[in-house]
Amino acid sequence: MQLHDLIIEDAILMELGVKSKLEAITELTESLSRSGRLIKKEEALSSLLAREQAQTTGLGDGIAIPHTCTSAVHQPIIAFGRSSEGIDFASIDRKLVNFVFLILSPKSSTELHLKILARIGHLLKTEGFINGLLNAQSKIGVLEVLKEYESSLGEIEPPDDLPSVCVAGAGNGGLAMASHLSLLGCKVNLFNRSPERLLAIQTNGGINVTGEINGFAKLNVVTSDPQEALEKTDLVMIVTPATAHYTLANLLGPYLTDGQVVVLNPGRTGGALEFTETLRRIGVKTYPFIAEAETLLYACRITNPAQVKIFSIKNSVPLATIPAYHIPDVLPSIKKVLPQFTPGDNVLKTSLNNIGSVFHPALTILNTAWIEERHGDFEYYHEGASPSVAKILQEIDAERVSVAEALGIKVSTAREWLYLAYGAAGNDLYSAMQANTGYSGIKAPNTLDHRYITEEIPTSLVPMASLGDQLGVPVPTIKAIIHLANILHRRNYWAEGRTVERLGLAGLSVQQIRRLVEEGKLT
């Protein structure tokens, strides 16, 4: 990572037409906001001003570096402004300011932030740099000057205490996760089973990311060799369809090491259990922590072979480990880069809080003809979830909640979850779904050959139904949906899916299941 990777081109202002510190900071912040780089503009501004109040960032010699760590950004970003007249920044040498570097880093990236400040400090002392900036004729010119003077300095070394990460999966989520972590300073290895998917990224030397995260994300290693991918990494982020977890456990298992943290993003239902059970079966003798996230952190889409767009990043994603008591040990290191992760109790909770399982398969299957005849051209969560469809979703939800209750676990109902996740309130599931403006404009899938069925049935509904059967909880509606999916796709999702056998739970009592989840073993 270098400064010119972090500077936002739209936020290079060649002539700041203002005189005061407040105006200058406001205008640069506005330009970052207009370029879509700020989650919360007011928070960024008030945090910058609070920092100024503590001590001015007017360093003297016509330079000011207003800066702060704030939850208003997801990655470090820089705005740059010039003023030929000069701005009163209350500098220590009382001179007017001609150059402003405005730097925002995520709240959790305090050490990286210091390294960025140090790099700017170094450049400002380098002969010719300031003159170079003064004479630059355009935005591109400013970037060229930065590149020139940084070339001999190499990369800004990421702080030692950031986790090294292997991201497994080069689909939408994998590229989003890999580029986000890279732009936060992590050393990132990207793994994908089939090498074809990696070609464009290898050629490109990294990933171009746009949206809530923006920039060019360099990668340490891009490979389809599992051993190379995992080498010297602390954190393994698996970001694939959950149907691939079983294969990945077989592929990666032999190279996992003690204390390495494997996170399934997300686990759907029983991901961490299936992964753990698979490692046991293939005889892995090391002691990695297997974790699952309740949902994927990103809404994102690949826009080109080496390019991904991140539409949004969730505020809070519960994460649970096996053994469960290690959550507080594992989280601090992850939160250094992804503070969005929160403790998720245990993997029964994250697995049974899988709300997608309530919505997606039934919502898709019950709209089969509409999807096939009109290629999904209707509002999926609003028109597709008509009052009667919502009744069926509510039944599926009740069965899911009952399976959890049989394990002594309380999970949110789908209706409650709509409020917790989106602030959408309603007296029943139907009205809460209709009240969720976040669903507006989301069209139905345009085909039935969609992960809402091919992924969610075997990795969400099958494990719930199988657990229900073992625990004596009636799950007739979930089974009906699985049955319909089997017919639609002429497959046997029961055989492919995560039954209690695949999860390593067959024949276990409630006590034993809870013990396995808490401690990773039965005795």
Question: Which residues bind to its own copies, rule: CB under 8 A?
Answer: 318, 320-321, 323-329, 331, 342-346, 349, 404-410, 416, 419-420, 423, 425, 427, 509-511, 514-515, 518-519
The nearer residue to its own copies, 45 or 324, going by C-beta atoms, is 324
Is residue 67 annotated as part of the catalytic site, yes or no? Answer: yes
> How far apart (Å, rounded) are the C-alpha atoms in residues 103 and 79?
7
Q: Is the peptide bond before 476 cis (omega within 30 degrees of 0)?
A: no
The nearer residue to its own copies, 16 or 291, going by C-beta atoms, is 291
Contact (CB, 8 A) for 400 and 358 = yes
Write down the least CB distance from residue 51 to its own copies, Å: 22
Q: What is the DSSP letter of 495?
A: H
- Token output for 340: 């969005």
Contact (CB, 8 A) for 366 and 436 = no
The nearer residue to its own copies, 418 or 448, going by C-beta atoms, is 418
Among the residues of 385-492, which ranges form H helices? 387-406, 414-422, 429-435, 451-454, 456, 462-471, 476-489
Neighbours of 315 (CB within 10 A): 12
Write down the least CB distance from residue 312 to its own copies, Å: 18
Write down the least CB distance from residue 350 to its own copies, Å: 10
- Token output for 26: 């406001």
> How far apart (Å, rounded) are the C-alpha atoms in residues 227 and 251?
9
Q: Is the peptide bond before 323 cis (omega within 30 degrees of 0)?
A: yes
The nearer residue to its own copies, 173 or 323, going by C-beta atoms, is 323
Among the residues of 171-232, which ranges form H helices? 172-183, 199-204, 226-230
The nearer residue to its own copies, 115 or 515, going by C-beta atoms, is 515
The nearer residue to its own copies, 70 or 91, going by C-beta atoms, is 70
Contact (CB, 8 A) for 142 and 126 = no
- Token output for 305: 């072979």
- Token output for 163: 């986790």
How many CA within 13 A on the CB side of residue 146? Answer: 24
The nearer residue to its own copies, 250 or 413, going by C-beta atoms, is 413
Write down the least CB distance from residue 316 to its own copies, Å: 9
Q: What is the DSSP letter of 234?
A: S
Write down the least CB distance from residue 218 to its own copies, Å: 33
Write down the least CB distance from residue 427 to its own copies, Å: 8
Which residue among 67, 180, 245, 360 is the active-site one?
67
Contact (CB, 8 A) for 175 and 305 = no
Q: How far is CA 226 from CA 172, 255, 277, 282, in A?
A: 20, 7, 20, 16
Write down the least CB distance from residue 343 to its own copies, Å: 5
**Active-site residue list:** 67
